[in-house]
Copies of this chain bind each other. A is one copy, B any other.
Amino acid sequence: MRILQNYRKFSTKTLDGWAKSVQKSGKNVFVKIDKGRAGEPIQLVANKEIGQEIRVGSAIRATGSLEHSRGAQQEMEFVAEQLKVVGNDENPRYDDLSPDNLRKKTHLRARNSKFAALLRARSAIFRETHEFFMSRDFIHIDTPKLTRNDCEGGGEVFDVVTTTSTEAGDGGLKEEPMFLSVSSQLHLEAMVSRLQRVYILGPSFRAERQQSHAHLSEFHMLEAEVAFVETIDEMCTLVESYIQHMISYLNSSKLEPETAIIGSKIPISNIKFPRIRYDEAVHLLALKGSKVTAKSGFSKKNELDLVKLHDDHPIFVTHYPVGQKPFYMARDGQLTLSFDLLVPGIGELAGGSLREQSAEELQRRGCGIDWYLEMRRRGQPPTGGFGIGFERMLQYLLGVQNIKDTVAFPRWHRHCQC
Q: Which residues of A contact B (CB under 8 A)?
A: 16, 18, 34-37, 57-59, 61, 86-92, 105-108, 110-111, 116, 119-120, 122-123, 126-127, 130, 134, 139-149, 155-165, 173, 175-176, 178, 180, 187, 190-196, 202-203, 205, 207, 209, 217-218, 220, 227-228, 357, 371-372, 374-375, 377-382, 407-409, 411, 414, 416-418
Contact A119 B107 (CB under 8 A): no
Interfacial chain B residues near A203, Cβ < 8 Å: 142, 145, 202-203
Write out the residue numbers on chain B whose beta carbons fall within 8 Å of the beta carbon of A418.
149, 187, 190, 371
Cβ contacts under 8 Å, A35 to chain B: 196
Chain A to chain B: the 6 pairs with minimum beta-carbon distance, closest first: A59-B381, A36-B194, A89-B379, A107-B190, A110-B194, A16-B228
Contact A194 B116 (CB under 8 A): yes
Contacts of A116 in B (CB 8 A): 194-195
**How distant is the Cα of A119 from the Cα of B87 in the complex, in angstroms?**
44
B-side contacts of A191, CB under 8 Å = 110, 119, 408
Closest Cβ of chain B to A56, distance in Å, is 9
Is B159 touching A160 in the complex (CB atoms < 8 A)?
yes
Tell me the complex Cα distance, A202–B390, Å.
15
Q: How far is the CB of A24 from chain B (nearest CB, A)?
A: 20
Main SS at interface, chain A? mixed
Which of B58, B87, B105, B377 is the one whose CB lies under 8 Å from A371? B105
Across-interface contacts of A187 in B (CB, < 8 A) = 107, 408-409, 418
Interface pair A372/B107, CB less than 8 Å apart: yes
Cβ contact within 8 Å between B59 and A379: yes
Assess whether A228 is in contact with B86, with CB atoms less than 8 Å apart. yes
Bound complex: CA A378 to CA B142 (Å): 36
In the bound assembly, the distance between CA atoms of A209 and B173 in angstroms comes to: 13
Q: Once the chains bind, are A164 and B209 in contact (CB under 8 Å)?
A: yes
Q: How far is the CB of A96 from chain B (nearest CB, A)?
A: 10
- A145 nearest in chain B by CB position: B203
Q: In the complex the two chains form, what is the Cα distance from A139 to B411 in whole Å?
A: 21
Q: Which residues from B are CB-within-8-Å of A147?
A: 416
User: Would you call B377 and A89 a contact (CB within 8 A)?
Assistant: yes
| Distance between Cα atoms of A57 and B408 in the complex (Å) | 46
Give the docked Cα–Cα distance between A376 and B107 (Å): 11
B144 touching A134, Cβ below 8 Å: no
* Contact present for A193 and B144 (CB under 8 Å): no
In the complex, are the beta carbons of A381 and B146 less than 8 A apart?
A: no
A126 contact set on B, CB distance < 8 A: 140, 142
Using Cβ atoms and an 8 Å threshold, which residues of chain B touch A145? 145, 180, 203, 205, 218
Say yes or no: A143 contacts B16, CB within 8 Å. no
**A107 & B371 in contact (Cβ 8 Å cutoff):** yes
Using Cβ atoms and an 8 Å threshold, which residues of chain B touch A409? 143-144, 187
Q: Which B residue's beta carbon lies closest to that of A58?
A: B379
How far, in angstroms, from A153 to B392 measured CA to CA in the complex?
34
Query: Judging by beta carbons under 8 Å apart, are A382 and B140 in contact?
Result: no
List, in ascending order, chain B residues with CB within 8 A of A202's CB: 202-203
Contacting residues, chain B, for A92 (C-beta < 8 A)? 379
